[in-house]
Amino acid sequence: VRAGLSRELDYSKADRAEHLRRVAEMAKLLNEHGIIVIASFISPSNDLREQMKQIIG
């Protein structure tokens, strides 16, 4: 995923958060089209995990 969807991002705190946001948005789109998504990502903070939950639903 990082090599495609987030290839211009580095590993700064802000870019890691943006990468996770993008992944959550992609999971949401796939779910909305009936595709079940199972993903495992390292999310270092509760805030990021909560943001991903809000996006995906």
- Which residue numbers are catalytic? 43
Distance CA 57, CA 27 (A): 10
- Burial degree of 52 (CB within 10 A; 0-12, 13-18, 19+): buried
- The three-state secondary structure class of 22 is helix
